[in-house]
Structure 1
Amino acid sequence: MSTTTARPGVSWRHSNLPQPPPYTLRNVIRVIGPGAILLGLSLGSGDWVLGPVVTARWGTTFLWICAVSVLLQALLNTEMARYTLATGESIFAGFMRGRSGPRFWASVYTLLHLAQVGWPGWALAAAAALVAAFLGRPLRPEDGPVIVALGYLIFLGAVFVTFLGPQVRRTVELCEWLVMGLALLFLAALAMSIVRWTTWVSVLVGFLPPVLGEPAPSSDMDWWLLVAFAAYSGGGGTINASLTHWLRDKGFGMAGTVDGRAVVVGGETVRFARDGMTFAPTELNLVKWRHWWRYLRTDFWYLWAAGCVAGMTLPVLVTAQLVAPGETWTGFTAAVGLAQVLGRSYGLVLWTGALLTGFGVLAATQVGIVAGYARSVTDILWTASARSRPAGAEGGAGGVYWLSLAAFTLAGCLAMTLADPLLLIVISASVAAFNFVVLSLHTLWVNRTLLPRALRPTLWRELAVLACALFFAALLARAILSSSILAGFLG
């Protein structure tokens, strides 16, 4: 093992790229996984809430925004993962190699992450679904205090899950996957049984770009809602970047060569490393690189991107079949809109089934977001602290974990008193859109500056990452110009 310099001031330990396992179905299932985690999180807000809300209001006119967003997010995901594959570090660790230093960038991304996910609209939406199911009727304004109280219980319950032991948490994670699977089966059964083929065609055409689809309406525009729809059609902002933590933990590419320091995080022993390791772009290493890239493509394209579009299609199909464009779902109604139209057309059984399914999906999403935030931020802050100390003097991570979780809990409890679930999710997704702009430009810099020329992305990939930044920047600019930010927050 040797040490090389990628650019002045940045040194790397050097080793060979590990041999990837043979590309078989069994190994694909074993190696990939981050894309599936992100897919589950996208179902809870973009698919279950925002997709039906947008469809009820404008029909299939703006579904192309979902398709474009997922395409650009998939390209950004693979480029962030490129860095992890090449160095064994998360993309956040790469960001910390910038001139401002690790502590500055760790603080920036911790705050951006909190600003995105510290709005627990998922817990409040889950509470709305459960209250409606219990009452057996549409929600009324006087139900608000009960919904908020239950929302607090769900949110704090999600926080409590992080206090449980590793074995119990794994059981909870399996339950989350079961809920997501049942939700997709429920939606698929509805789509196959009640949706006419003409609606299928209309929805599929809606995913095509505007030049092939319907003209955009000139009135009744809510650009903040469309920004949110775009951002949460996939995972969203810093949640996407956190995938590189999971890739590293699974030993993907050069991560398999990095020996980390054992630290206790949330009662579980994990291994963190202050620095990664890279490899010389020899012919043999580049052959292995291309094989690893095949697994990456399977995870983020065949599984995640296709799954995001399919996950959005199912609730949109049901909504488009049962709702004539022009209905505006706001407030608590947005959280139960899909169930309401099913109950209106097919009665109490589907009404209750949709509400309970929605509760499960939204509550599971909130649990995943709480656990993911605490784990990701702990990783970021520990790495920054370790790089600011002499090698071998790195400290533990337990205090960082509990402090980050406490800050997140406080922010969430305060945010829940400010708005209804739809507005909380829209605020969260709008911050995610801004984070996409920052992440895209920073990832472009990292891959161009820190990676050897043979491992850098091709020009078209760099242009695609730049297009991701421009896409979300344009949507945000249009939303800001359409109405003042203050008016948007205050309604």
Structure 2
Amino acid sequence: MNQENPQSHQNETVPAGMLPDWTVGDLPKPPRLGWKSWAALLGPGVLMAGASIGSGEWLAGPGVTAQYGGTLLWVATLSIVAQVFCNLEFMRYALYCGEPILVGAFRTKPGPKFWTVFYALLEFGHIWPYNVAGASVAVAAIWLGSLPGQGDDGLVHGLSCVLFLLAFLPLIFGGTVYKMLERIMTVKLVVVLIFLVLVSTCLISSRSMSEVLSGFLRFGQIPLRANTIIDGRHFTLTEQHDDILYRIRGTVEETETVVTEFTAGNQIFRMDQEIPAEFDTRYQELKTRAEKLALADRFYMEQIDGPISLTAEGTIDPQDKSWQFEQVTVRSEDGSNTYRQLADIPNQALQKELQERIENQGLRRVQLIGYIQEHGKLPDLDWALIATFASIAGAGGLTNALLSNYARDKGWGMGRNVGAIASAVGSTTITLSHVGQTFRSSQENMSRWRGWMRHIIRDQAVVWMVCCFIGMALPCMISVEFIRNAPVSGNRVAGMSAEGLENSYPGNGLWIITLLVGFLILYPGQIMSGDTIPRRWCDIIWTASSRARQLGKDKVKQIYYGIMTVMAVWGLLVLMFLDPLDILKIGGVLANIGLGGSALHALYVNCTLLPPEVRPNWFMRLGVVCCGLFFFTISGIVFVSLL
């Protein structure tokens, strides 16, 4: 890339807020879209799409759909569409001046010191290495020949630390960081999509496909799970004794019964925790009952609403995994009655509810607003996992802001005149200007500007958004088909899809293949994460710090890799003490706040620092405002549910 714009106006500057003025040059020509230049479109959209098919699609997505089917996929629709709006505004700023959007944020009042603290707090949602934590589960499962169980925590934690450190190597060697990441994500995107498409077209029933695809449009609906659902080998069994509600979750495997969670009142005991003596008898009773009911080709469901209880059972269709009703027992104050036909149930409301739960494999769908109006509270759902699902359905958090960094490094718009961040070892001499450069609003430049805006809209709407929906839909189809109603556990969620496929098609190598694909989905995401925080703060320091501005243009990588070192130390501490699902939930919930705050701030930046002729229109402004409100609300629900 050019160190200086040959057409720059050497003595002309433009005021740019609280940081040094922009220089002035001419806007480069946008690429023409044609069959010969299609590769020009494969820019930040491919990079971020490759990164986006990660924890959201392989961990949070299957985790949500395993428990709730396709009902909540509309949350992903809102998330992905909302992110397109904020992504375009992030990239608009980079096209205009060649700076990342967060540098623009530091140009606004009250100044860099305030925004340093503000964005450092928002950054807290991104220092949780959930991608490598999930990838370590896949490696551990390959090593063990089964999903990690009780006593395997040490192996998972150890592997995660080793893999975490290895993920930094590609960022240290070879060329510009952007080009290296683009190659990795392109390979990942192609391989993963080929695998997912083959599995979905060859092994997924039309019923599961329909449930997932329709779920993206079920706006406002929420699922209410029955108290007890035993679906083949997977069980969630609930009983109440002496005013204490007991619940046990797990899976009956070939060699043992794995209990992933046991709840006694408000106390929750996970797989690696010892059950207190006062609850052990009840624990053993529930486990024994679950083992008797959990049969590979049968289902069992109980739902208690006040004085009325429903107990239904039947078989599971081996082709599409649907429930085939055999009988239901209705208990009430008037006694107990057993029916073998749904039409025989005299209470029409009960008949309708049971039919819906059979069709939806233990779920009843209601509108969220209607539920809150009726009950005066939020439904009992795993809101932290749902918020995480929303957070990383696309990119998530401040990661989206990196689209402006990568647009700069790709040489889009005025980024072509600014430079890029080079790798620590093996790179050519590439410099990065301390100050951005903008352009005059001439007729020629404005024509080019409109061309660049069309280019980034194609990048986001054609590449990034489409890849996000495909990348979310295909893994969710697998989970709905093969791990429906499976318990979601910290050290197992990354390998659940592989276990489900192997259980349905044993001996075909799907166990190893799916785990390797899961690793390929998650691990490059960690490489990407290893770049995101150093890149964000390197760009901020490089432009906002007066001391950094005294350094030579080729010294930017010293700051970049210094920040990376600090990040590595923190990541090791987290991986040593927290399980993968906890890391995922903490990072996801906090990342929503980061995305909401940065989106609204970016809109303010573009509406104040940019000249009127290149500012966003009212449609874009409304979209960004809705984006911010959506992500604030979804994490706010998590905090409210904890009260």
State the TM-score, normalized to the length of structure 1: 0.90
SS in 1 for 2:604: helix
What's the CA shift string for 1:228-248, capped at 9, x where partnerless? 000100111111101111111
> Which residue number corresponds to residue 302 of structure 2?
none
> Which residue number corresponds to residue 63 of structure 2?
53
Aligned mates of 1:321, 1:414 — CA distance in 2 = 37
> Which residue number corresponds to residue 26 of structure 1?
36
What's the CA shift string for 1:101-150, capped at 9, x where partnerless? 3354345435533x233212222211111121222223211111111111
What's the CA shift string for 1:62-109, capped at 9, x where partnerless? 000001100000110001111111122110111110123335434543
Amino acid at match of 1:29: A
Report deviation, 1:176: 5.2
Amino acid at match of 1:420: D
Report deviation, 1:474: 0.9
Count of residue pairs brought into register by the alignment? 479
Q: Percent identity?
A: 32
Farther-moved stretch of structure 1 (102-111 vs 347-356): 102-111
Aligned mates of 2:29, 2:182 — CA distance in 1 = 30
> Are 2:592 and 2:631, in contact at CA under 8 Å, matched by a contact in 1?
yes
> Which residue number corresponds to residue 93 of structure 1?
103
* 1:81 partnered with 2:91: yes
SS in 1 for 2:555: coil
Change over 3 Å in CA distance of 1:13–1:67 after alignment to 2: same
Amino acid at match of 2:594: N
> Which residue number corresponds to residue 158 of structure 2?
149
Change over 3 Å in CA distance of 1:289–1:149 after alignment to 2: same
> Which residue number corresponds to residue 361 of structure 2?
none
Change over 3 Å in CA distance of 1:210–1:171 after alignment to 2: closer
Q: 1:307 aligns with which of 446, 467, 473?
A: 467
- After TM superposition, the structure 1 = structure 2 runs for residues 412-431 of structure 1, keeping only pairs within 5 Å, are 412-431=571-590
Higher strand share: 2
Aligned mates of 1:83, 1:28 — CA distance in 2 = 24
> Which residue number corresponds to residue 516 of structure 2?
356
> Are 1:434 and 1:476, in contact at CA under 8 Å, matched by a contact in 2?
yes
Farther-moved stretch of structure 1 (149-158 vs 367-376): 367-376
Change over 3 Å in CA distance of 1:270–1:240 after alignment to 2: farther
Structure 1 unaligned blocks of 5 or more: 485-491
SS in 2 for 1:242: helix
Q: 2:424 aligns with which of 255, 266, 269?
A: 266
Aligned mates of 1:69, 1:43 — CA distance in 2 = 14
What's the CA shift string for 1:324-361, capped at 9, x where partnerless? 3x433121111111112111211142122111211222
> Which residue number corresponds to residue 225 of structure 2?
none
SS in 1 for 2:53: helix
> Are 2:597 and 2:628, in contact at CA under 8 Å, matched by a contact in 1?
yes
> Are 1:60 and 1:202, in contact at CA under 8 Å, matched by a contact in 2?
yes
> Are 1:28 and 1:295, in contact at CA under 8 Å, matched by a contact in 2?
no
> Which residue number corresponds to residue 402 of structure 1?
561
Q: 1:250 aligns with which of 402, 410, 413?
A: 410
Q: 1:215 aligns with which of 352, 361, 366?
A: 366
SS in 2 for 1:270: coil
Aligned mates of 2:390, 2:116 — CA distance in 1 = 26
User: Pairwise CA RMSD of aligned residues?
Assistant: 2.6
What's the CA shift string for 1:236-277, capped at 9, x where partnerless? 11111011111112221122234x5x9865234432222222
* 1:190 partnered with 2:199: yes
Change over 3 Å in CA distance of 1:366–1:12 after alignment to 2: closer
Aligned mates of 1:309, 1:37 — CA distance in 2 = 15
> Which residue number corresponds to residue 488 of structure 1?
none
Aligned mates of 1:471, 1:387 — CA distance in 2 = 38
Aligned mates of 1:279, 1:398 — CA distance in 2 = 27
Amino acid at match of 1:188: V
Amino acid at match of 2:107: R
> Which residue number corresponds to residue 320 of structure 2?
none
> Which residue number corresponds to residue 109 of structure 1?
119
SS in 2 for 1:272: coil
- After TM superposition, the structure 1 = structure 2 runs for residues 340-489 of structure 1, keeping only pairs within 5 Å, are 340-348=499-507, 349-386=509-546, 396-484=555-643
Amino acid at match of 1:66: A
* 1:162 partnered with 2:321: no
Aligned mates of 1:149, 1:39 — CA distance in 2 = 29
Higher helix share: 1
Farther-moved stretch of structure 1 (165-174 vs 401-410): 165-174
Farther-moved stretch of structure 1 (285-294 vs 210-219): 210-219
Aligned mates of 2:542, 2:449 — CA distance in 1 = 29
> Which residue number corresponds to residue 35 of structure 1?
45
Report deviation, 1:169: 10
> Which residue number corresponds to residue 487 of structure 1?
none
Report deviation, 1:170: 6.5
> Which residue number corresponds to residue 129 of structure 1?
138
Change over 3 Å in CA distance of 1:48–1:423 after alignment to 2: same
Amino acid at match of 1:444: L
> Which residue number corresponds to residue 333 of structure 2?
none
Change over 3 Å in CA distance of 1:298–1:170 after alignment to 2: closer
Amino acid at match of 2:598: L
Q: 1:294 aligns with which of 444, 454, 473?
A: 454
Change over 3 Å in CA distance of 1:433–1:25 after alignment to 2: farther
* 1:234 partnered with 2:394: yes
Aligned mates of 1:441, 1:168 — CA distance in 2 = 28
> Which residue number corresponds to residue 327 of structure 1?
486
> Which residue number corresponds to residue 82 of structure 2?
72
Amino acid at match of 2:366: P
Aligned mates of 1:370, 1:10 — CA distance in 2 = 29
Amino acid at match of 2:196: L
> Are 2:385 and 2:585, in contact at CA under 8 Å, matched by a contact in 1?
yes
Aligned mates of 2:185, 2:415 — CA distance in 1 = 27
Aligned mates of 1:171, 1:467 — CA distance in 2 = 34
SS in 2 for 1:139: coil
Aligned mates of 1:256, 1:39 — CA distance in 2 = 23
Amino acid at match of 1:246: Y
SS in 2 for 1:3: strand
Amino acid at match of 1:344: N
> Are 1:386 and 1:395, in contact at CA under 8 Å, matched by a contact in 2?
no
Structure 2 unaligned blocks of 5 or more: 1-8, 223-364, 372-378
Aligned mates of 2:17, 2:572 — CA distance in 1 = 45
Amino acid at match of 1:155: F
> Are 2:174 and 2:423, in contact at CA under 8 Å, matched by a contact in 1?
no
Amino acid at match of 1:208: L
Amino acid at match of 1:164: F
Amino acid at match of 1:235: A
Aligned mates of 1:445, 1:179 — CA distance in 2 = 35
> Are 2:27 and 2:448, in contact at CA under 8 Å, matched by a contact in 1?
yes
Amino acid at match of 2:463: L
Report deviation, 1:388: 7.4
Aligned mates of 1:263, 1:305 — CA distance in 2 = 26
